[in-house]
Chain A
Amino acid sequence: MTAPSRLLNRDVLRIGTTGLRTRPTRAVLSALGIAIGIAAMIAVVGISSSSQARLNDELARLGTNLLRATAGTDFTGKQTTLPPDTVGKVGMVEGVERASSTATLPVSVYRSRLSDPAATGGLVPMVADRSLLDVVSGHVRTGTWLNPATSAFPAVVLGSAAADRLGVVTPGTQIWLGGNNFTVVGILDPVSLAPELDRAALIGEPVATRLFAFDGSPTTVYERSADEAVERVRSLLGPTIAPQAPSGVEVSRPSDALAAKNAANQAFTGLLVGLGSVALLVGGIGVANTMIISVLERRREIGLRRSLGATRGHIRTQFLTEALLLSALGGVFGCGLGAAVTAAMALTNRWPFALPAESLAIAVAATLVIGAAAGLYPAVRAARTPPTAALNS
């Protein structure tokens, strides 16, 4: 009995690259479809994980131990206020480290007394505790925060959006607040954990009491507690502030809102992943198409190989290998491209660069599956080509 036909694995790899080596342009173009699909998916994963990393960094910096209690509506739908001694009571809850409050004033703020009274700009004058900035981790961009002296006089600190809308750039500017001239003493940076302060014009309690008959009832209380006590404090805040109607107090955790916003962005990335997978599918069809053309063109080569002793299996393996290598080429190139897009995005947005290694592994595995699927039919077709027909073409 004759020894069997044998093809060494090394040779499988070598002849599998024949098509890629002899027709590099075609190989690159057909791998490009796969590359674009993979790059899109890698970029989507990379960008969303980079922005998640940025959020995690930000939360780590700001802390997730801030709770915010606001006066809600009671069961008749009437707006409630918090009692004047709320901050003091909250400060006595076990686990609470610091507490502060703001109170919304029923007045409006304008650039000057000549401004259109209807153009409030959505800006809210508020009475602020002097400890507020510390509790919400806010920063003064220019000027100073309220101190015991400025709290007693018509001085105001503007949130970043409020300063933009009023056109105030430097401290010292006069604005028109509730029928009085107020002098801007400071402008804040955006406050991530309390975005409502961005639209606020913050004044001290003594001047509010004097000019606007402020009764000391806060509308919002902020508190910081030890990380492990957050949930317990959260459940205690309502009953502590308003024992007779705890449900009238809305307690929220601003860091949750930030995370929720990020989750909404993630939902959008689902759509992009869908688009990427369509590109991948089209890329796979491109590879299948290229392979079918290649099989038709190389009928003579197939016939020759059969005459040299190749079995149908050897021919099948050769073309399947070529399809796999073609898609793997696209996959690796796509991974690089996707990582580059992610890096560029992270760099321009000053996010940390984050790309899970397993997403790259999954991407390459996916291209191999696509390559196998795309190459199967052409390979079977090549193997079925009768050697005599192939040689005479």
Chain B
Amino acid sequence: MISLSDVQRAYGAPPVLACAGISLTITPGEFVAIVGPSGSGKSSLLNIIGTLDRPTAGVARVDGLDVSGLDDRALSALRAHRIGFVFQQFHLADGVSAVDNVADGLLYTGVPRARRRLAAKGALDRVGLAHRLDHRPNQLSGGERQRVAIARAVVGDPPLLLADEPTGNLDTASGTAIVELLDDLNRQGTTVVVITHDTGLAERLPRRIALRDGRVVSDSSGES
């Protein structure tokens, strides 16, 4: 699913390396946690995996395609059809109902609106929010908002789900529910990559990749 080989991402001048040569492989169906302190390059790594950013050196292959060889249209197509994103700040549109927020997950796939909304209802049902279809984000709790965001990420059944601190803004109970939800999705075959500060959460996942200063310092699957 994902194969990185000596990936570097440099910012500014003189260049500061957020990713200083990362090599790793994630196979389809894995559930991976990326852990590490602030500034260790977790988000930069996730952006590269999610094709929102390109490596400045090294080769990144996502879904079998070399990211550096793809133009904007091809990368956007990859994101539209193959990758779902979940963010710490949810990034839901205010003033728009939950079902329409989720339906926007299919906006750039060319699916007509009626079918998008139908799929959105199904996705909200999967995350346990079938009773919250017409609620607006400000009428929902933090945990519910994140579940709406997850529903939006998976409404198109992408094979790869990327989550950046999905529980970072939530209390423990809501966070646990979100992790269970991600676990469910993973069991249904979705490859899930989660960035987290939460060591308790990371402990429960089958594979943990620890970063520090832009390098992989430990990879639990490699150790076992």
Contact = CB atoms under 8 A, between A and B. Distances in A.
Interface string A282-308: 000000000000000000110111111
B42 to A, nearest CB: 13
Categorize the interface residue count of chain B. Answer: 20 to 34
B143 to A, nearest CB: 20
B187 interface: no
A388 B54 CA distance: 10
A16 to B, nearest CB: 13
A310 interface: yes
Contacts of B53: 386-388
B81 interface: yes
A301 B91 CA distance: 8
B73 A307 contact: no
Contacts of B50: 307
A310 to B, nearest CB: 5
B77 interface: yes
A6 interface: yes
Interface in A1-51: 2-8, 10-11, 14-15, 22
A3 B77 contact: yes
Interface in A294-343: 300-301, 303-314
Contacts of A273: none
Contacts of A305: 107-108
B112 A309 contact: no
Contacts of A391: 52, 87, 91
B76 A309 contact: yes
A5 B76 contact: yes
A311 B63 CA distance: 19
B113 A311 contact: no
Contact of B52 (A300, A307, A313): A307
A348 B87 CA distance: 63
A300 B91 CA distance: 7
A7 B52 contact: no
B110 interface: yes
Contacts of B206: none
A8 B108 CA distance: 8
B61 interface: no
B166 interface: no
Contacts of A306: 52, 76, 79
B52 A3 contact: no
B109 interface: yes
Interface residues of A, number: 31
The interface centre, meaning the residue of B53, B82, B109, B152 with most chain A CB atoms within 10 A of its CB, is B109
B108 A7 contact: yes
Nearest to A387: B52
Interface string B15-57: 0000000000000000000000000000100010010110000
B109 A5 contact: yes
Contacts of B107: 7, 11, 15, 305, 308-310
A306 B78 CA distance: 11
B104 A308 contact: yes
B80 A309 contact: yes
B95 interface: yes
Contacts of B72: 311-312
Nearest to B80: A309
A308 B112 contact: no
A388 B109 contact: no
A387 B104 CA distance: 17
A308 B50 CA distance: 11
B93 interface: yes
Nearest to B86: A307
Contacts of B104: 308
A49 to B, nearest CB: 45
Interface in B92-108: 93-95, 104-105, 107-108
Nearest to B95: A22
A22 to B, nearest CB: 6
Contact of B77 (A5, A300, A388): A5
A307 B113 CA distance: 19
Given A306-B79, A388-B47, A7 B105 contact: no
A239 B107 CA distance: 85
* Residue from A4, A5, A14, A387 with most neighbouring chain B CB atoms (10 Å): A5
Contacts of B93: 301
A7 B80 CA distance: 11
B110 A308 contact: no
A339 B53 CA distance: 53
A307 B75 CA distance: 10
Contacts of A7: 107-108, 110
A300 B79 CA distance: 17
A311 B73 contact: yes
A308 B79 contact: yes
The 10 A-B residue pairs with the shortest CB-CB distance, nearest first, are A309-B80, A6-B110, A309-B108, A311-B76, A5-B76, A307-B85, A309-B79, A5-B80, A387-B52, A304-B91
Interface of A: 2-8, 10-11, 14-15, 22, 300-301, 303-314, 386-388, 391-392
Interface of B: 43, 47, 50, 52-53, 63, 72-74, 76-82, 85, 87, 89, 91, 93-95, 104-105, 107-110, 112-113, 152
12 contacts: A2-B74, A7-B110, A10-B112, A305-B107, A305-B108, A307-B52, A308-B79, A309-B77, A309-B79, A310-B108, A388-B47, A388-B52
